[in-house]
């Protein structure tokens, strides 16, 4: 399965304006179905994200990323984000996307989007664990290069 990670287009602006502090804010990962259509150009806050998954064992609004580690790779000019694995135990869900966002602000209209991971196909758990492993982290490709 080919996994693709992309940054939302407004990420740089949100970082420069101080709306996101990756290491100090509450960064969450939420799962969405294949009905969600990510738009790097127009999606900027959580209220733009639709079709969050639902099902047994899933936590609405996603899980908090813990122990975030940022690594910059100079030869490729990429930023890699790693964290503890996200595990929805004993879950029955189907997801296509993982959306990363800053949950620190008070409302969905002010919670900046960071990036998303396209699993390449639906991933299903049926009474088992749905796990997002951060073994090598994810590289957010820059939409403006």
pLDDT, one tens digit per residue, over 15-49 is 999 999 988 999 999 999 999 999 999 999 999 99
Contact call for residues 128 and 90 (beta carbons, < 8 A): yes
Mapping DSSP to helix (H, G, I), strand (E, B) and coil, where does residue 50 land?
coil
**Strand pairing report for 27-32 and 63-64:** antiparallel
Burial of 82 (0-12, 13-18, 19+ CB in 10 A): middle
**pLDDT value of position 81:** 85
Taking 70 as the pLDDT cut, the residues of the chain under it are 1-2, 136, 139-145
Contact call for residues 79 and 122 (beta carbons, < 8 A): no
**pLDDT value of position 145:** 41
């Amino acid at each position: 399965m080919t996994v693709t990670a992309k940054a939302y287009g407004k990420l740089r602006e949100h970082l420069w304006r101080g709306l996101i502090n990756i290491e100090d804010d509450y960064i969450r990962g939420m799962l969405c179905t294949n009905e969600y259509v990510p738009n790097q150009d127009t999606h900027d806050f959580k209220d733009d994200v639709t079709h969050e998954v639902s099902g047994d064992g899933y936590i609405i609004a996603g899980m908090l990323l813990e122990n975030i580690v940022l690594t910059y790779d100079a030869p490729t000019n990429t930023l890699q984000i790693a964290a503890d694995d996200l595990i929805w135990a004993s879950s029955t869900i189907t997801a296509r996307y993982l959306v990363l966002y800053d949950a620190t602000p008070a409302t969905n209209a002010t919670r900046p989007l960071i990036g998303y991971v396209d699993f390449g196909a639906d991933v299903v758990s049926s009474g088992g664990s749905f796990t997002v492993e951060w073994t090598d982290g994810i590289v957010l490709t820059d939409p403006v290069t």
